Chain A
Amino acid sequence: MTGWTDLLFILVIVLDLFVLASSRLRAGIRAVAGQGAVLALLPVALAGGAAEARHVAALAVGAFLVKGVAIPWLMSRATRESAVRREAAPLVGFVPSLVLGGLGVFAAFLWAGNLPLPVPGKHPFLVPTALGTVWTGLLLLVARRKAVAQVLGFLVLENGVFVFGLLLSDFMPVMVEVGVLLDLFAAVFVMGIVMFDIQRALGSLDTERLKSLRD
């Protein structure tokens, strides 16, 4: 069983790296959707006893619906209507961002063992996966030009926060988690509207062009 849990964490990291390396936005969206689905399995895999079964099941189903289905669907609609296919010229190239992301992940795995945790006895990959995913999300947010790619970065960042939240899932009430998922949904919704407005005002989703705005 522990082998499968390891595999889920590693899958999350590999998907991080894939999003960093892929220039096609649709492939990136699919990868983030896959990551959301893997994240939905994590609470189930990590659940120790049957005491929290309903809580865990609710968390898994909620995460799957929001991260794996709803948000990717919104994102792919946004890309389809805006005719943006790929990130052409990112601020940091694909190979350097892949190497940077890799270095961040490696640092997370090598040092996370030294961090003092409030709840001991958790899976050893949990904290490094969370830190590595957050780092990947930050990198995507900063290094990409297209608004869609930046939203993908935000989603990956949020996935990292979700993994970190699993650390506390024993005593986090369901309502708080539902609230977090709703926040995320609302945020992506707002970003979709902003993307639509950028597209309408500038005729492109390239955020570099926002510099041309004057009052």
Chain B
Amino acid sequence: VTRVILSALQLAAFLLLAPLLLGVIGRVKARVAGREGPPLAQPYRDLARLAGKGAVFSRTTTWVFRAGPVVGVAAVATAGLLLPLGAPAAAISFTGDFALFVYLLGLARFVTVVAALDTGSSFEGMGAAREVTFSALAEPALLLGLASLVRSTGGADLTHMLGDGLAAVWRSDGPALLLVALAVFVVALAENARIPVDDPATHLELTMIHEVMVLDHSGPDLALIQYGAALKLWLFGALVVNLALGAIFQSPAASFAAFLAGQLAFAVAVGLVESTMARLRLVRVPQMLVGASVLSAFALVLLLSR
């Protein structure tokens, strides 16, 4: 019974608290800059405001454009079912589910890109091209990192890879896991369009990557896209936090609390990175992502050479 309750609790936290991470990041950035900053609940208010508005659709768009936000949120939420989000086990778990997890996120990205291309705007096409280029470079880093988790924990489902299998690996192969955690953090920054890769606050044409693709969405559609982005941030945060915690707590309640505290720390870390680093030049971004892939691959090689 506790398993079911915990499972429901982690999904509720996932669906309800995800926008809070964006609020925390905004708050941290404002505080470092010496400002008061928006209230923590600001993302929720934005979502409510957008959901209450009407949507405008260009006559050149088709059903692809309208399907984009819905499918995107659905794919990210489904991916959340596969990852342990504070409870000891994910809601659904089977061998090889990490590949489905990665490609559900890929599907979300694909529908966003297709919806952007559907508008026929050359500007959004440019953003789509950049998004696809960078995610193609980020994907090896994530998959190689997950592969080294599979190799080190000896199980190919995310519940085992990020849960009970991890504690022993931190003792035997800590440095390799540290490399994986670092690479996954870089991927998290890139995939969520955070600062060294993309600036979520800017609307300057030349530098936008993710924001530019959603310029034509309005009202509830835009709310769905922003909500999906928050869910995705929660998922990547969960990857990093689970990896870093390494399943050290025995009691479920303690590990759930530690997970939530870890997510908060993740948001603060992202906010600090955004406050202290400048956005990388566009040509430097592939360099960073290839570097993350090399780190992941190095971790895998370390584990293979045992």
Contact = CB atoms under 8 A, between A and B. Distances in A.
B302 to A, nearest CB: 7
**In the complex, which range does the number of interface residues on chain B fall in?**
10 to 19
Given A6-B174, A94-B287, A95-B287, A110 B305 contact: yes
Given A6-B174, A6-B175, A10-B175, A98 B304 contact: no
B174 A21 contact: no
A128 B178 CA distance: 19
Interface stretch (A99-107, A166-174, A182-190): A99-107
**In the complex, which range does the number of interface residues on chain A fall in?**
20 to 34
Interface stretch (B55-63, B152-160, B292-300): B292-300
Contacts of A124: 305
A59 interface: no
B291 interface: yes
Interface in A61-108: 94-95, 98-99, 101-102, 105-106
Contacts of A7: 174-175, 178
Interface in A91-133: 94-95, 98-99, 101-102, 105-106, 109-110, 112-113, 124, 128
A10 B302 contact: yes
A141 B273 CA distance: 33
A110 B304 contact: yes
B294 A98 contact: yes
A208 to B, nearest CB: 22
Contact of A109 (B171, B294, B301): B301
Q: Is the interface of B mostly helix, strand, loop or mixed?
A: helix
A148 to B, nearest CB: 20
B295 A14 contact: yes
B298 A13 contact: yes
Contacts of A110: 301, 304-305
Contacts of B77: none
Interface string B270-306: 0000000000000000110011001101100110110
B179 interface: yes
Nearest to B290: A95
A106 B297 contact: yes
B143 to A, nearest CB: 16
A17 interface: yes
B302 A17 contact: no
B174 A3 contact: yes
B287 A102 contact: no
Contacts of A17: 291, 294-295, 298
A124 B175 CA distance: 14
A109 B286 contact: no
Given A6-B174, A17-B294, A109 B302 contact: yes
A112 B301 CA distance: 12
Nearest to B306: A124
A98 B305 contact: no
Contacts of A10: 175-176, 179, 298, 302
A113 B294 contact: no
Given A105-B298, A110-B304, A21 B291 contact: yes
28 contacts: A3-B171, A3-B175, A6-B175, A7-B178, A10-B176, A14-B179, A14-B298, A17-B295, A17-B298, A21-B290, A94-B287, A95-B287, A95-B290, A98-B287, A98-B294, A99-B290, A99-B294, A102-B297, A102-B298, A105-B301, A106-B297, A106-B298, A109-B298, A109-B302, A109-B305, A110-B301, A124-B305, A128-B305
Given A109-B298, A109-B302, 10 more contacts: A17-B294, A21-B291, A95-B286, A98-B287, A98-B294, A106-B301, A109-B304, A109-B305, A110-B304, A113-B305
